Each structure stands twice: as structure tokens, then as C-alpha cells.
Amino acid sequence: MNKLNLLLLLMLPLNIQAQTLTCDNKTVEEAFNLAVKTLYKNTCDSLILAGGTYGGEWVRDVSINSWNAAALLIPKEAAYSLWSVTTEDRTMIGHQYWDHIIWALAAYDYYIINNDRQFLRQAYIASKNTMAAREQDAFDSNYGLFTGPSVFNDGIAGYEEPIYNPQIKDSYVLAHPESKNIMCLSTNCLYFQAYKTLALMAKACGDKCSVNGYEHKAKALKTNIRRNLYDPQANKLYYLIDGHGTLHKYQEGLGHAFAILFGVVNKKEARNLIKKVYIGKYGLPSIYPAFKRFKEHPGRHNQILWPFVGAFWADACHSVGINEPFLKELFCQADMAININNHCFYEVYNENTGKQNGGWQIDHQWESVYDQTWSATGYIRMILQDVLGMRCTLKDITFHPDKALMKEIGFKSLNGLKFRGKEINIGKSCM
């Protein structure tokens, strides 16, 4: 695609206006602008909160929000938030053991966007120490995979028996002993990308001796993911292997997105996979099909929509040149936020109605939290990285817009985008 070439005004004073999209599709326009406002609204005392009634202590939320948008739009707050979920000496990543290595991906992205070598040096220490600990405590050498729940599914609603123990009336996944030994698609794809990221960190920090080691581990993990969780004959990816060696053949939305985005499957495989993925009326469900205990009401992590998952899925589809599912997520998420749910990015939605719905957990319906930050930043990601083709390097920022997507939304302008102390306004010249 051609670079935007009409209007890149980099010397305007900051804070004249927030990032503002204008386009013919007013629902998309309102959704993007609401998403930006939601990110700012949920930034308090330099900390990016998860949104609504949530605080800011979750590594995955902080990392995903930084990775999606905050590292660019509010870099000081993104850095503060990333360090807030590490140990006091910044040598280890904190919180839930199975998903916190996602922090390394966000940290490297922050470094690239902001060209902050001091940040990178400390981030590399925290990331490599955390990876070493996870290799010691959570790696199953028999399968060559990392154990633990799937990336964000910390509720037991995301798992079927025997992982879910009906006798245990606790929604937290680790309260169910079988959950610790499972090996999940999304988690292992995340560790695969973390190894590749650590290799890049090591190279940038001058730790040449570690680069080959991380690259070798990445290659081995990819091989083991494909051996255990991918069926090349059926061309399907599967959710997890439980502690008894049983393969749970469910569709994991985030796992599929990560497998494509990170290159666990190649482009041809990805395009064929996309054709077989189940998409509901309003988007990609978290886990499909419904577990037997959720036939009458969707589980919080089963057959229900998490918009940030849909955003990664849309990004994955676009990365291999398939725009139809991307547009479905883009339009459905805008419709849900603006038209169906009264101008609010909620945490979770019903896949059939588009109405906010927190889903069923153990024995009751959960809340779908309002003003959810990663629902909002996921939408920002779709516009900036996919529609406008934004790419950051240590040297600069470029835009390679997808003309077909630009036409679909009737793009006119994006104003007030901040990059390294400058402001970028983008016009319609590429059209």
C-alpha cells in the first residue's frame, strides 16, 4: 500500500485536541473517538486502570493496553503502568504466573515506539528473569509445552471437566487443582513470541550470547505447539491438553489469533484456518462450542464475546490479507459500543444479541464491567494498525493504509496523533 503523503504535520503544539477520527461511517467514527476517551478516562495518577470498577494490578490488562495503543498515545503513563506490575526492584514481572510474560511483548513494543534504551535494558532483565522462573516452574518436558491456564481465562467458566471440578464452588481457575497442569494454545503461543522477543531484546542490549539460545527455544516451542495442538490434516488448532493427556478440541479465539499473528502457522495455513473458524452474529466468541453446562446461558469464558480478543483476531485476519472477518469485527464492535449499549465499551457481550453480558461463572451471572479499557484499546489498534497501516520503528513512524478498508469506512482524517513529542495529522491523500 502507498504511504500517506499529504498531511504529516509534526510540529503542532501538543494537547490542542485528542486523537480524533472523521469518516463517513459515523458509527465507526464515534466508536474510535469513544475508545480514545475511554483510555484517557481510565488513566488515573499515571496508572492505566482496567476500567469500570477494576483497578490496575493485572499484568495482562496493563500489557495489552500498552501494546494496543497506550505506548503511543500516552507513553509516560504506559511506562509507569508497566513498571507498576513488576517487583519493586523491577527485576521480575508480577501477578498471575501463566500469562505475565505478555509483559515482555508490551515492553519491547514500548521501546520501539519511544526509542527508550534505558527502559529496554531494565525490561530485558525483568523479562529474562521471569522467563527463567517459568521454565523452571511451568515447563512440561514430556510435551515441550508450558503449563497453566489460557492467557486471560482466570475463571473456571473457561474450562470443561475434569479441569472444572463441580464439587468446588470457587470461580478462580487455580482453585480447581487440575487447572495447573493443562497446556493451552494461547499461553504457548504467547511464550513462543516471548522467546522471539527476548532474542530481540538480547540483541539490542548487546547480550549476543543469549540471542541464539532464545531463538532455538522459540523454534523448539513452535514445533511442539504444532505437534500437540495443531492438526495439519484437518487444518485445525485445538484449545488445550489436560493433565491426563486428553486433547480438548475447542476453538480458542485468542489462541487462533496469536497462532496467526506470531507465525505458529504459516500464511497458507492461516488463510485455511480462518475459513473454518466459527464466528457468531456479533463476532468471534472466546471459546466455542458451548460447554455442556452452558447450553442455556453463556459461560463467562465460553461462547461469549470479549472485544479485545476480537480485535486481535481481526488483526490476525488482516495480517494474511483477509478483510471480511476484520470488517465484521470492526463494524460489530462499533455497533455494540455505540448503538446497542449506549456509547460504552463493555467488558463482555452476548454473541447473539450484542448486549453487554458478563456470562455465567459457577452458579450466577457475572457483571460485564463498563468502560473496559482493553475493549477500547483493541478498537484503536484496529484503526491505527490495520486500516491506517501504522508502523513504528526506532527511527520513525510510517503509514501504509489499506485502501479497501479506508474506502469501507469512508476515511477522511485522523487528527492529534502523538509521536515522540510531535503531533501528526493525517489527511485523505492516499485515497
Q: How far from chain centre, in Å, is Cα 64?
A: 5
Residues 333, 383: contact at Cβ < 8 Å?
no
What pTM did the predictor assign?
A: 0.94
pLDDT in tens, 127-146: 999 999 999 999 999 999 99
Residue 4: the pLDDT is 41
pLDDT in tens, 68-79: 999 999 999 999
What's the CA gap between 116 and 119, in Å, rounded?
A: 5
Residues 286, 351: contact at Cβ < 8 Å?
no
pLDDT in tens, 382-424: 999 999 999 999 999 999 999 999 999 999 999 999 899 889 9
pLDDT in tens, 201-254: 999 999 999 999 999 999 999 999 999 999 999 999 999 999 999 999 999 999
The Cβ of residue 107 has, within 10 Å, a number of other Cβ atoms equal to 28
Phi, psi for 241 (deg, rounded to 5): -115, 130
| Mean of per-residue pLDDT scores for the chain | 93
Considering the chain, what percentage of its residues have pLDDT values greater than 90?
90
What's the CA gap between 373 and 47, in Å, rounded?
A: 12
Q: Which amino acid is at 189?
A: C
Q: 24 vs 18, 194, 268, 389, 406, CA distance in Å?
A: 19, 39, 34, 19, 10
176 confidence band (pLDDT: 50, 70, 90): very high
96 confidence band (pLDDT: 50, 70, 90): confident
